[in-house]
Structures are given as C-alpha cells and as structure tokens.
Structure 1
C-alpha cells in the first residue's frame, strides 16, 4: 500500500511547487508595481515642486500709465523717478522675482489711455498696473480694470467716486482723494485767514471735486464762498479770472492749479499785484516744489494743505530725500513720494501674499499699513484710500522757497460714502 501512495504524494508535491511559484510571481509583481508607483509619485512631486519654484521666480511685470506729455508731464516724470528709486534700492527684485516696468503715455486722454491699457494688459501681459495722473483717465479705466481683474495702484488720480460709487476691489490709491485735498485745510483757513473766499479750479473732474470739497468744509467752518470759477485746463492767461478776484475783494483765494498751469497762475497772481494783498491758499500742489521751484518768489507766502513736504521730521523722509538727491541731483516733490510709495506698496503686498496674482494681492491690500516719507499710511479697507496726515504749510523764502509747517491735520480719512449735497 505504501508503494501505491507514492505517485499520489509526488503528484501533490508538484502541485505545491507550482502554487508556491505562482505566489512568488504575484508577490514580485506587486512589489515592482509598488516601487513603480512610488517612483511615479516622487517624480510627479518633483515636477510640481520644480514648476512651483519656476512660478515663484517668474518676473513681476508692472505696467505704468502716466501723462508724459502736456500739463501733467512734470508730475508723471516725478512719479517715474520715485518708482525707479525704490526698485533700485531693492536691486530690482521682490522676493525671487525680477521687476520689469513697461511705461505708456496716456496724454491725459481717456481714449488714448484705454488703448494703452489694452496694450499693457493684452500684449505685454503685465501683472499689475501703476498710474494714472488724471481723474478723467481713471474714471475711464475703472470698468475695464474691474472686468479684467487686474490690480491698479493709483499713484495720483484722485477721483472721488473710485472710492465711493465706483469703488473696485482692484484699485488702491496711495496718493490722496480730491475730497481730502479740497477739505483738509478749509477749517484752518476759515479760522486763521478769513471768512470769505474766491475759489478757482481747472474745468475737469478733479478741479470741480476739489472745489466742492473745499466749499463744503469752508462753509461748515463758518466761511462763505463769494464766487467760484473754472478756467479751461491748459489756460495760459488767467487775467480775466484775476481781474474778478481783485473786484470781489475776498479775504482769501483758494486755488487748485497743478503742473504748468499752476506755475503760470502763481506767477500771474504776483504780476497782478495780488501777492501779499489777498492771501493765496490752496491744496497740496501750491506747497510743492514742482510749482514753488519754477514760480520762484511769486510762491512766497502761499498757504497750502500738503501730504508731504521736506520739513516732515522722520527717518524715512530724511533717507528718501538724501537718496533722491543723490540719484537725480535735484530735490524730490510730493509726486516723487507717490511713485516711491506705489513701489513700496507693491513690494509689501507681494511679500505678504506670496503671490503676484490679483486675487491674492487684494486680500492683503485692504487695510495694509506701511511707513512712508509722509509718515504712517494705512489703506482704508472701506474706501481703498489712504488714511494720512495733512500738514498746513506756508511757503517761506530761505535759500529758495521752503515750507514751514504751521499745523497738522491728523489721520484725514475719506468718508465711506459721498456726503449729501
């Protein structure tokens, strides 16, 4: 019987060997699959990491729209200088990104600005925008910016409605609003200069908004506006308006005049014999080097409400002035500061967000605070407009025309909604 069972045992052993062989083959295949899967995952992670690193180091492309021709050319050049000074101080790098700038001239023309905007956004593929100068231009750009969802750092255009009815999550102002510029000094002038005022402003949106803000604040402080006039932007001869001033005999004149218009107005104010007889007051432009320098002695004695003057005593301002003079061999002005702060705000927003994407930037821009040559600036989350000090200054003659700070209006904050008229 034992001999009879041997073939059966042998047959079972053969089956066992075959089963073990099959099992070893399956285990080996699974091991290889696991190894391959691990290698694939590692390869995928490495690819993603490399792609992420490459994305983080892509250049930051900044499109700048300013008015390099016409009345506003000096303002634009100053903003450009301030912008470039800041990036030069930071080696033209933010994080791992090289900074590249593409400039376009909008000629202070809304239609030209729209065309240049499309070039920057569609052709140049810029990541972020800086500018413009004119309120008319920013009003024209607002809707395309909102549609394209691209961040604009507003370096100067002060149109009120960009912070009110047409506020956009993609527009953040570093300069000032027309409401701030017109209203900030009104109570001081009513209390310390006179109770009746003659108002002059250029006939375009900013001119009317600054005048309206001044009139409302001046009358609220107990003053009375006897007349307001609006010369065409680019006026060469202000004789007609200055004759009206002389006839009206107000306690003071409040004049918003900017760029080359402002220089001519101040000089002609003196030529008409009004300097020293009827105090000339105005918004920040009349206390700025861009006008006081070329106007010379004619600017002496003017009172202005300014967001920046060289006399502001802080370390950031001293360093900024020294660096600007060293680079450009001339003194800075308020628009140089606007350019400098535009660059500083971009730098801080990208570092805080870790991104150059608009949707990431707008999360950190609301309420952001930074140290400017002007002092501490906070972007109000309710209006996307800066909360800042205004300084009541007097132009005095000391080795040229300098500004003496008479008073400070602290933390001037734009109302969340347009005041009722």
Structure 2
C-alpha cells in the first residue's frame, strides 16, 4: 500500500514537471513572434518574412491595388518566393480608402498577424493616418503608392520609405515643357481630396515659374460620374491647354467625356503620369490619343530590364503592366535588397540601409533620397499616339533625376 502511494506521488510530480516545462517552452516560443520594446522581432528570426499589405481593394482605387499585388507577386515568383534569403508570407487587407478602416486593419496586421514589414497604401489620406502609428510601433512601411507631399516634409518618418512618386514630382514634371511648347494659359482639374490639391499646387508653381498662368482651378468630387459641368467651365476660359489629374475609373471617365464633349482636338489636354498609363489608356482607347503627360513608367520604355519585366508580366497575367504593377515589383525589389544588405528584417537594421539605397527598376535607376525618403527618378515627357489599334506614349524628352525639394516650397 505504501509502495503504491509513493508511486502515485512520483507520477503526480512527473506530470507537474512536464506541465511546467510545456508552459516555459510555450512562453519562449511566444516571445519570438511578438512585438517587443517597440521593434519588430518577429518571424524573421525563424527564416520567414511576413509582409502585410494595406491597400484599397474596393472602389475607385481597386485597379491600382491589383497592379501592386500583381507586380509584387511576379517579383516573388522570379525569386523563388524569397526576399533577402527568407521565405515570404503575405497578408493583404482592404482599407476601403478609409483612414479609420485602415487604422483598424493596421492594428490587426501588427498586433495579431505580427508582420515584419508593411506595404501600401494607395491613398494619401490613409498614409497620413498610418504615419504616427508606424512611428510609434517602429515598423517599416514601404509606401507603394500614396504620394502625399508632407510624408517627405513635415511628416517625414525614419520608418516610411516611398517607392512610387510624390505629388510634387507628378504635378511638376511636365509643367516646364508645357509652358515652353504648348501654351501659356491653363485650366487645371483634379479630385477634391489631398492628392488632387497637392498635384495641382505643384503644377501651378512650376508652370507659372516657366512663364505660364493658371487661369482657373476646378475640383470635382472623387467618383464624379458626369464631368460635363466642369468641362463647360474649363472651355469657357478659352485656355491654351487643360491640365488634369484623375486616377482609376475617374480618369477613364474624364478622358472619355473630354472627347464626347467635343474638346479633343480643340483644346490640348495634358496630365499627370496616370494619363499615359495602361490603366487609363487601354479602356479609354482613341479618346486618350494626343494627351501629353509626364510619366515615370511605360511598358514601352526601351531598356533591357523593362523588356524582361514586360515579357514576364504578360506571360503571367495576360496583359501589359501599368505603373502600379511596377510599383509593386519595386516594393519587393527594395525589400529584397534592404533585408539582404541589413542581414535582418528588424526595423532598426533596415532603416540604416534604406536611406540612400539604390537599385535598377524597369522604369530606370532609383535612389531613395535620404533627405526626403522619396525616390530620385527619371520622368519622361510623352505624347499618346494611336499605334496598331492601341495607345503608345511616345517619349519626347527625358527629365533625369527628378528630386523632390528637401523642404516645402509652399510655406
């Protein structure tokens, strides 16, 4: 009986010891995947790189988000699913172009999914909302599209690096050419939201510095279906040219209605890089012919890396890439190079190499300017030509190394 009691006690003690060991092991494993001391010590330590995307997958911006995801996945496919020598897992969340929704999705990705690096968003309003959270949590955000100027000026963060372009670059790139070669008076149009106002601000500043004059500014609401009232107001000014910035479905409607309203061939239309991009020119077709744009990418750019990129993209997706496709591709490329050079996916290690990092893109050479965390890149003045039934932006002039001012010229 005594022996039986001793055996029972030993058995209970053994079970308790096993339970304690399991608890300790579980705590140890948990600490390796949590955000600790404000830095992202996560799955990167186990050889897996977890990347979270915050993109607008519904509404006007949905096609832009699709391009970014497609480009990113193509880069992964060409590199055996790895970046910086680490196997990649991705998690995509829809911010609905709503800053409050974006903040909720951000917290889910950081605190529940425990991602190492963020990619996105599309909207400038969203990136401004995310900026302080990213700064607080010390998580690297590769800005794949949002072009808000203040992200490189008053809201610059060591944890945010833009791979696309700024609104200042987009709006100013073609202004001097237009003032010198097309006309001296312009009516300008853009959606009534931060990006639209920043783009037109940059265009106006550069256009008037080159001797031009903006005679009227018009700001339709985002998702406008009928541009006729605005086109009426624009044409009534009898300008030398009309300059516009619209993206996605808004851009397609505007270009199409410009022709339907009878302005095509009457008043030259010029615009931002979106008006020379496949996302608008393909569905708009002949209506997009003749538009002069300042682009930073086209599938028709004549360099070897772009030829390879276009071929691979067409084979995988059955269509030509657009600027957003290459922004997704370049987001993967910069993560790949940064993690490789840092030897780590830890934010504090990554920011040391992201400042001033350079790489070759299908759009040309890219350097992240450490003064603004914005890409120094080429822009191309192009005119849309109808060729073989499609629109081809033919490059007229190259503006090399377009660099954003270190501080705002508007203050």
TM-score (norm 2): 0.89
CA distance in 1, matches of 2:410, 2:246: 26
Question: Using the alignment, how far apart are the partners of 1:96 and 1:384 within structure 2?
Answer: 25
Identify the match of residue 345 of structure 1 among 325, 330, 334.
334
Aligned partner of residue 225 in structure 1, secondary structure: strand
The answer to whether the Cα contact below 8 Å between 2:191 and 2:219 also exists between their aligned partners in 1 is yes
User: 1:190/1:55 Cα in 2 relative to 1: closer, same or farther (>3 Å)?
Assistant: closer
Q: Deviations over 1:121-172 (max 9, x none)?
A: 0100000000000000000000000000000000000000000001000000
User: Which has the larger Rg?
Assistant: 1
Q: Secondary structure at the match of 1:226?
A: strand
- Counterpart of 1:362 in structure 2 is 351
Q: SS at 1:387's partner residue?
A: strand
Count of aligned pairs = 370
Residue of structure 1 in register with 2:61 after alignment: 72
> Could you report, residue by residue, the CA deviation over 1:275-307 in whole angstroms, capped at 9, with x for unpaired residues?
011000011000000000011110000000000
1:166-181 map, 5 Å: 166-181=155-170
What are the Cα deviations for residues 339-377 of structure 1, in whole angstroms up to 9, with x where unaligned?
A: 000000000000000000000000000000000001110
Aligned to 2:370: 381
Task: Give the aligned partner of residue 161 of structure 1.
Answer: 150
Structure 2: stretches of 5+ with no match in the other structure: 1-31, 33-42
SS at match of 2:192: coil
Q: State the Cα distance separating 1:93 from its structure 2 match.
A: 1.4
Aligned position for 2:404: 414
In structure 2, which of residues 133, 136, 146 is the aligned counterpart of residue 144 of structure 1? Answer: 133
Which residue in 1 is equivalent to 2:183? Answer: 194
Task: Return the alpha-carbon distance in structure 1 between the equivalents of residues 243 and 154 of structure 2.
Answer: 27
Which region of structure 1 is more displaced relative to structure 2, 175-184 or 86-95?
A: 86-95
Decide which moves more: 311-320 or 202-211. Answer: 311-320
Offset of residue 58 of structure 1:
2.6
Aligned partners of 1:311 and 1:405 also within 8 Å: no
Residues 356 and 369 of structure 2 are in contact (CA less than 8 Å); yes or no, is this contact kept in structure 1? yes
CA distance in 1, matches of 2:213, 2:75: 44
SS at 1:402 equivalent: strand
| TM-score normalised over the length of structure 1 | 0.87
- SS of the residue corresponding to residue 156 of structure 2 reads coil
What CA distance in whole angstroms lies between the structure 1 residues aligned with 2:96 and 2:85?
A: 34
Alignment RMSD (CA, Å)? 1.3
| 4+ residue runs over 2 A deviation | 54-58
